[in-house]
């Protein structure tokens, strides 16, 4: 069974640009959560999608958005990039989602550097 | 909101035992997870506690006291490969059951 796949693994952008990150969950998993990980703030919750619906959202500005497709694949987008957006973005999938006690399976992450 | 505290770093010797504490404050506690994350890798699930008591899984055990807002992860017979960050995460019903992570505890195992 393939794990959670995130693309791209590494990317460099400049301030003001926008970026789209992709996540393919484990086959059969309908819940996808996104987290931002930085040395100073740790793992911070961005949003969770379940069956194409956003089920939960963290405290991030509107520049951060996401969506989920009918095949459960998810994308997140960050517009008007700022230096502080440099981070590791982790995607996690679950069969039932965190509300039902589902264990999260994480991908390797997409490391974004904003110059 | 939620407050999850765990020590930043701990050092222990190979073969020894290390206990990583995690304290939390939530409005609607609905489960606590421990994850292990090696440098440059994805976090991997270690344990889940929702009721008070000790859950044992081989060399790793996790304890929960809901009344005290306290959990610990116990690593026994430490091995060099246990050098990693250990993340405590709490699910809060009052926050839509999203998982909130602590800052993580970096454990360094020395020979």
- Nearest-CA distance A47 → chain B (Å): 9
Q: What pLDDT score does B40 carry?
A: 86
Q: What pLDDT score does A26 carry?
A: 94
- Write out chain B residues lying below 8 Å of A10, CB-based: none
Q: What pLDDT score does B1 carry?
A: 46
Q: What pLDDT score does B46 carry?
A: 94
Question: Model confidence at A95, in pLDDT bands (50, 70, 90)?
Answer: confident
C-alpha–C-alpha distance, residues B105 and A76, integer Å:
28
Spatial CA neighbour of A16 closest among A79, A60, A61, A65: A79
DSSP per residue over chain B, as a string? --EEE--SEEEEETT--EEEEEEEE-SSEEEEEEEEE-TTS--EEEEEE-SSEEEEETTEEEEEETTTTEEEEEE-S--GGG-EEEEEEEEEGGGTT-EEE---EEEEEE-
Q: Say if residue B64's pLDDT is above 90.
A: yes
Q: What pLDDT score does A99 carry?
A: 54
Interface residue A79 vs chain B (CB under 8 A): no
Q: What pLDDT score does B3 carry?
A: 87
Interface test mutation site (partner B, options A89, A101, A107, A111, max chain B beta carbons within 10 A): A101
Among chain A residues, the shortest Cα distance to B88 is held by A43
Q: What is the mean pLDDT of chain B?
A: 93
Neighbour count for residue B5 (Cβ, 10 Å): 13
Q: Say if residue A91's pLDDT is above 90.
A: yes
Q: Do A4 and B41 touch (CB under 8 A)?
A: no
Q: What is the mean pLDDT of chain A?
A: 92
User: pLDDT: is B60 or A99 the higher one?
Assistant: B60
Q: What pLDDT score does A101 carry?
A: 59
Q: Say if residue A93's pLDDT is above 80.
A: yes
* Contact present, B98 and A98 (Cβ < 8 Å): yes
Q: Mean pLDDT, to the nearest integer, of B13-39? A: 95
Partners of A24 in beta bridges: A5
Structure tokens at B34: 């421990």
């Amino acid at each position: 069974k393939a794990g959670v796949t995130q693309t791209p693994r590494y990317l460099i952008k400049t301030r003001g640009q926008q970026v789209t990150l992709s996540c393919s969950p484990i086959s059969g998993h309908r819940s996808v959560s996104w987290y931002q990980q930085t040395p100073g703030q740790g793992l911070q919750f961005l949003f969770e999608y379940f069956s194409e619906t956003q089920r939960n959202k963290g405290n991030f500005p509107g520049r951060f958005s996401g969506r989920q497709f009918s095949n459960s694949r998810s994308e997140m987008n960050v517009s008007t990039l700022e230096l502080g957006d440099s981070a590791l973005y982790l995607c996690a999938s679950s069969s039932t989602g965190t509300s039902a006690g589902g264990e999260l399976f994480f991908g390797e992450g997409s490391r974004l550097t904003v110059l | 909101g939620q407050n999850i505290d765990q020590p930043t770093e701990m050092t222990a010797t190979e073969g020894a035992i290390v206990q990583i504490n995690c304290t939390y404050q939530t409005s609607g506690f609905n489960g606590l997870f421990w994850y292990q994350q090696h440098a440059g890798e994805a976090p991997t699930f270690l344990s889940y506690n929702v009721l008070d008591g000790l859950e044992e899984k081989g060399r790793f055990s996790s304890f929960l006291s809901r009344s005290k807002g306290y959990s610990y992860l116990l690593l026994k017979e430490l091995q060099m490969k246990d050098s990693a960050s250990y993340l405590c995460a709490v699910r809060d019903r009052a926050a839509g059951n999203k998982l909130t992570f602590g800052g993580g505890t970096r454990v360094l195992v020395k020979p």
